[in-house]
Amino acid sequence: MPKRALLSVSDKTGLVDLARGLVELGWELISTGGTARTLTAAGLPVTEVAAVTGFPEILDGRVKTLHPKIHGGILARPTPEHLDQLQEQGIQPIDLVVVNLYPFRETIARPGVTPEEAIENIDIGGPTMVRAAAKNHERVAVVVDPASYSEVLAELREKGNLSPATRRRLAAAAFAHTAAYDAAIAAYFQRLIRNEEPFPVHFILSGEKVQDLRYGENPHQQAAFYRLPAVPPGSLAGARQLQGKELSYNNLMDLDAAWNLASDFKEPVAAIIKHTNPCGVARATTPSQAYRLAYAADPVSAFGGIVALNRTVDAATAREMTEIFLEAVIAPDFTPEALEILKGKPNLRLLAAGERAAYRVQEYQVRPVSGGFLVQEPDYHVLDPERLKVVTTRKPEAREMEDLLFAWQVVKHVKSNAIVVAKDGVTLGIGAGQMNRVGAARIALEQAGAGAKGAVLASDAFFPFSDTVELAAKAGITAIIQPGGSVRDEESIKAADAARIAMVFTGIRHFRH
């Protein structure tokens, strides 16, 4: 009796070549719907599932492979008892199952897709066959990835069968395939009911490997980069690398931090990042001007940095960026002229992320802890200037208020304890990740130097003491923005009033651990 292969695929890549190879090896083909039509059109002999089951497809194709003559053929073990039962029921064994599933993830990624359309692209028969074959992989081989077709054919041609190790590896891939598929469906339905249940009892996380990385944060750590299902426009995971060396783990961490910061602004902004913290951020009327100002904010730290711009990189900006060593640049896109200029830096990694349709490109932040993980909403809070509370005698001038809002938007992206000193839409000094707030202020003010005179200061959290205000006053800071809410707020307010510093409370903090 010839061996039998059941082929039912949504992705037809490589299908005909695989089927032809099986026929040449003497295999019998069983198939469904569009897959059967593709094989027939290629001149290959194929038996439709309906002819095997003696039952037609019904319910608009919702029921076609859910039948004992299919699942009995897949699930039977090579024991005398099982083989006798197959013979009694007129069921022939199926030796190979080649299935990939309805394009659910691609469907929900389309703009404007309705729940009805999404539901019709939830595969039922496909996952059932895949799981059945994977369960019985000691006898039945299961293939879900077209990239595996050539390897499977090569082993069948060489050995006439697939080894237990190959079957086990294919089964692992099959279970991962159905798990990822179900995770995408679960995530979609969770979005539909998110207002009712923001954090589900079971939090399911699934990713598709983009690439193995050379190593993690350090050479002795292994690492890989994974992409979530239905990657939204304007996200790092969906970016195209246009040139440069292979991305590293640290590159990706810094690129994400830089891209999130730059994308937080509507006006043209350039951000230069080192170790996930900004070292220079500037807004301007053109991307080249923004980059030039961001670089000038801290040229020492900018060396070997990661740059993000929220506008397409043009020739003028590209020329500016060729003057120093940079690790990577991420932007919505690059003009052909810019790419031609940047070819002179062949190792410089260039990533085109596309335009963000909306800023909320990430639904959850997930961070591992020992034995588990933490989940939270990303910090997408947008400050409403009308809700600011001026708590000092002197109110900020219009220029100061613009800088306060700019510095507040930047400080959200700086590791706590965080202080940002800024003037005229450019950061002058940034104190990041310090164990106390006055320490962060000292770093930021020292970096700003004489430029701190007439500048503003932003703090990601309230002042527990008046010392940061007093330090700012000595440096010449004229306005401060901070959340407020400390039991010692009055001390800071009095210190600000004594120095004629305008201070506003946001009522919102931006801790970043």
CATH number of 385-505: 3.40.140.20
User: Does pLDDT of 399 surpass 90?
Assistant: yes
pLDDT in tens, 145-185: 999 999 999 999 988 889 999 999 999 999 999 988 888 88
Given the residues 3, 82, 135, 245, select the one marked as catalytic. Answer: 135
Which residue in 193, 142, 189 sits closest to 170, CA to CA?
142
DSSP annotation of 307: E
Of 105-109, 259-263, 311-315, the range with the lowest mean pLDDT is 105-109
Residues 6+ apart with CB under 8 A from 365: 375, 376, 377, 378
For this structure, is 135 an active site residue? yes
Ranked by mean pLDDT, the top range of 206-220, 347-361, 416-430 is 416-430
> Which residue from 316, 329, 160 is spatially nearest to 255, judged by alpha carbons?
329
User: Cis omega before residue 436 (within 30°)?
Assistant: no
Same topology, domains 4-192 and 233-352? Answer is: no
The secondary element (H helix, E strand) that includes residue 302 is helix 299-302
Q: Taking 70 as the threshold, does the pLDDT of residue 238 lie above it?
A: yes
Non-local (6+) Cβ contacts of 214 within 8 A are: 246, 248
Bridge partner list, 430: 420
Q: Determine contact, residues 413/389, Cβ cutoff 8 Å.
A: no
Where do the DSSP E strands lie in 413-453?
Answer: 419-423, 426-431
The model's confidence at residue 358, banded by pLDDT at 50, 70 and 90, is: low
Token pair, residue 470, equals 């007093």
| 389 among known catalytic residues | no
- Does the structure show a pLDDT above 60 at 79? yes
How far is residue 392's CA from residue 404's CA, in Å, rounded to a whole number? 15
For the chain, give the mean pLDDT: 90
pLDDT at residue number 356: 77
What gap in Å lies between CA 331 and CA 337, rounded to an integer? 15
**What six digits make up the tokens of 485?**
């809410």
Tell me what pLDDT residue 340 has. 97
CATH fold of 233-352 reads: Cytidine Deaminase; domain 2 (3.40.140)
Confidence band of 360 (pLDDT split at 50, 70, 90): low
How does residue 76 score in pLDDT terms, banded at 50, 70 and 90? confident
Range 441-444 contact pairs with CB under 8 angstroms and sequence separation of 24 or more: 441/468, 441/471, 441/472, 442/471, 443/419, 444/419, 444/420
Q: What is the pLDDT of residue 80?
A: 81
Mean pLDDT of 188-203: 79
Q: Name the band, by pLDDT with cuts 50, 70 and 90, for residue 382.
A: confident
pLDDT of residue 359: 54
**Over the stretch 52-61, which tens digit does the pLDDT of each residue have?**
877 777 777 7
Is it the case that residue 286 has pLDDT exceeding 90? yes
The residue among 238 and 336 whose pLDDT is bigger is 336
In percent, how much of the chain has pLDDT > 90? 65
Query: Which of 36-50, 72-86, 446-460, 486-500 is predicted with the least confidence, judged by mean pLDDT?
Result: 72-86
Residue with tokens 């496909």: 126
Order of strands, sheet of 349-352, starting from the edge strand that comes earlier in the sequence: 240-243, 349-352, 326-331, 305-309, 269-274, 277-283, 426-431, 419-423, 456-459, 479-482, 502-505, 389-390
Q: Is the pLDDT of residue 106 over 80?
A: no
- DSSP 8-state class, residue 58: B
What one-letter code names the amino acid at 372?
G
Asked whether residue 511 carries a pLDDT value surpassing 80, the answer given is yes
Nearest partner of 456 among 479, 427, 473, 484, judged by Cα: 479
Mean pLDDT is highest, among 14-28, 95-109, 141-155, 405-419, for 405-419
Inform me whether the pLDDT recorded for 377 exceeds 90.
no
Residues pairing with 227 in the sheet: 208
Architecture of domain 4-192: 3-Layer(aba) Sandwich (3.40)
Tell me if 427 sits within 8 A of 379, measured CB to CB: no
Kindly state the tokens that stand for 173: 């891939």
Q: Where is average pLDDT lowest: 117-131, 236-250, 427-441, 489-503?
A: 117-131
The catalytic residue among 275, 343, 345, 395 is 275
Q: Is 34 left (phi over 0), alpha (psi -120 to 50) or beta?
A: alpha
Task: Provide the residue ranges of all domains of the chain, joining segments of one domain with +.
Answer: 4-192, 233-352, 385-505
Q: Are 396 and 454 in contact (CB under 8 A)?
A: no
Residue 86: CB atoms within 10 Å: 16
3-state SS of 155-173 is HHHHHCCCCHHHHHHHHHH
